[in-house]
Structure 1
Amino acid sequence: MDHRQDVRQEVSEFLTTRRARITPDQVGLPMTGSRRVPGLRRSEVASLAGLSVEYYARLERGQIGGASSGVLESLARALQLDETERAHLFDLARAADGIPTSGRARRRTPSKGVSRPSLRWALEAITEGVAFVRDPHQNLLATNALGRAFYSPVIGDGGRTPNLARFQFLDPASRDFYPDWELFAEMCVGIMRTEAGRDPHDRGLQDLVGELSTRSETFRRLWADHNVRTHGSGTKRFQHPVVGELTLVFEELALTAEPGLALIVYTAEPGSPSAEGLRLLASWSAPADPPMTPSGTE
């Protein structure tokens, strides 16, 4: 399957799954006649978007190349897409037109770690929170000292680049580390789906998706849902093997000097048990200080 066919299939499955989740009463349509499919009919989506049925059918077959911004906006409103889903639809349309997506140049080679000393110094300057750099493949490319202790279950013996998606779906230890495992799994796949839409040419991400789809039934099911999300900020719970339960808030910051990479910082509410847990963890020496650059291509 060539790249264009890949994009057409992505568009088709995304629009189909978005249409299937909306009921007629959600958009003010009467429930009339027998319905062979869940959600809205193609004709109903076309009417809501102000498009002909024939044109919408073409879009849902993946023929989205050349669609105007106005058409995409109308479609996003008709399908009640949130901001992340809307951006994903526009990314897919740009990919169909052969335009680099999300305003950034395509990554021609996989990230191979964080080489700039100034970025490493910045990480190590963060001493009261977990700080790490993550790439679109979910690789942990660099961490601060507290991050190495915090992510010790993920880092393991340091023989391979730590990867959050592989840990989530292929390592049984993830179910202990993440008390809300199902939620974390959905978030992980949603973030990867978003990245896949931003850069359909990313062979490394495609290979990772193929590996996880082959080895994890849960990943395969979630990937087929075509749900997308961004990380941004929020709260997560962890069960660390050394200090126990931690409830941490996170902020994700894009690294403008390293397109595609993100700096993520976890902190705890001052004075909370989790803040004390982080202080205890900071005083605990990780078993090893593994190299945080991959020995080979991910």
Structure 2
Amino acid sequence: MEIAKDLRDFLMTRRAKITPDQVGLVSGARRRVPGLRREEVAILAGVSTEYYVQIERGQVAGVSDEILHSIATALQLDDVETTHLFDLARAATRHAVKRPGRSRSVRQPVPEGLQALIDTMVAAPAIVQNGHLDIVAANALGRALYSEVFERATGTPNLARFIFLDDRAEETFPDWEKAADDSVALLHVEAARVPYSKAVTGLVGDLATRSDAFRTRWAAHDVIAHRRGTKRFHHPAIGELTLRFEGLDVLSSAGLTLIGYTAESGSPSQEALQLLASWAATEADREGEPHVRSE
């Protein structure tokens, strides 16, 4: 990854989102740039304009955490964006002192016992994904919920590849625009966390080459944390489900996230989830595999 460029573009896109009025500055009659100017960010952060320009260009060697926090405050960054800024700054500093090829790999093994753990979640779909959105483990209901992603993958299923390159994605994820936004935002987080990883750079490069929708979103430099929320699915055999999800970091293996899904009690989606369990059991019987029981 071009860390200096990523840092510059991230700060520029954040500046563009903040108006002078939001931070108590006089906007003036004529402005050539959207959002804040560099000199306005520098004033808010308590640094000279020249120093802020240097930081925005990716020249961050020796920049203190206090100054980075001041810039984050000036730009009204949330916790995820602030962490991303620090990751980019650290990556830019590391790049200045060692070769990119020595960066650690993002390919983390699934910890022993994690598969057994999610297999006990017989009434809740669960998957484990890594930072570049490979699904590296799933329980029976999770595999059933993501059956289209698994069946149409060559090798390890990857959610970003499915969302941007598979013509079934918009049917599988009815809220496709949000799914697309979220997947790119998560990839930006991972790209800063483990810069120069071949897995990440290869995926981003491939998607940028093949998908206009991906390129547009990548240029926005948005970042998120996949912690909790709701997601809509359309299953070819069951129909539509709206499920709540919780994302939990796997502390024994950095970069892995366990995501579990539940349905609201008494809702049509709970009934659909029970049907999905029955469908998964039927499919498992056909293939001679262990299956989940329907509640």
- Say what the alpha-carbon RMSD is for the aligned residues: 1.9
Report the residue type matching 1:192 in the other structure. L
Farther off after superposition, 254-263 or 131-140: 254-263
Q: Does 1:198 align with 2:160?
A: no
SS in 1 for 2:94: coil
Q: Report the secondary structure of 1:96's partner residue.
A: helix
Structure 2: runs of 5 or more not aligned: 96-102, 290-295
Which residue number in structure 2 is paired with residue 211 of structure 1?
A: 206
Alignment equivalent of 2:15, drawn from 19, 39, 54: 19
Out of 252, 267, 274, the position equivalent to 1:272 is 267
Displacement after TM superposition at 1:262 (Å): 1.2
Residues 1:140 and 2:135 are matched in the alignment: yes
Distance 1:22 1:163, change over 3 A: same
Amino acid at match of 2:173: Y
Partner of 2:243: 248
Q: What's the CA shift for 1:128?
A: 0.7
Q: Which amino acid aligns with 1:50?
A: G
The equivalent residue for 2:171 is: 176
CA deviation map 1:133-176 (0-9, x unaligned): 10112111111011111111100156411110001100111100
Please report how far the alpha carbon of residue 107 of structure 1 lies from its aligned counterpart in structure 2 after TM superposition.
4.1
Q: Quote the Cα distance in structure 2 between the aligned partners of 1:238 and 1:226.
A: 26
The sequence identity of aligned pairs, in percent, is 50
Residues 1:281 and 2:276 aligned together: yes
Partner of 1:103: none
* Gap runs ≥5 in structure 1: 100-105, 292-298
Whether the 8 Å CA contact 1:133–1:263 is kept in 2: the answer is: yes
Task: Tell me, yes or no, if structure 1 residue 108 matches structure 2 residue 105.
Answer: yes
Task: Say whether the 8 Å CA contact 2:58–2:89 is kept in structure 1.
Answer: no
Letter in 2 for 1:56: Y
Which of 105, 118, 124 is matched with 1:123 structurally? 118
8 Å Cα contact 1:177/1:238 also seen in 2: yes
Candidates 224, 230, 239, aligned match of 1:229: 224
- Pair 1:61 & 2:47 matched: no
Structure with greater helix percent: 2
Matched AA of 1:85 = E
Name the CA shift for 1:228/1:133 in 2 (closer, same or farther; >3 Å): same
1:44 aligns with 2:40: yes
1:188: Cα distance to partner?
Answer: 0.7
Task: Tell me how far 1:115 sits from its aligned partner.
Answer: 6.7
Deviation by residue 1:188-224 (Cα, 9 ceiling, x = unmatched): 1111111111111322111000000001101000000
After superposing the two structures, state which structure 1 stretch, 192-201 or 28-37, moved more: 28-37
Q: 4+ residue stretches of structure 1 with deviation over 3 A? A: 285-289
Q: For 1:81-100, what aligned pairs fall within 5 Å after superposition?
A: 81-98=77-94
Q: Secondary structure at the match of 1:132?
A: strand
Look up the equivalent residue of 2:133 and give its one-letter code: Q
One-letter identity of the residue aligned with 1:23: T
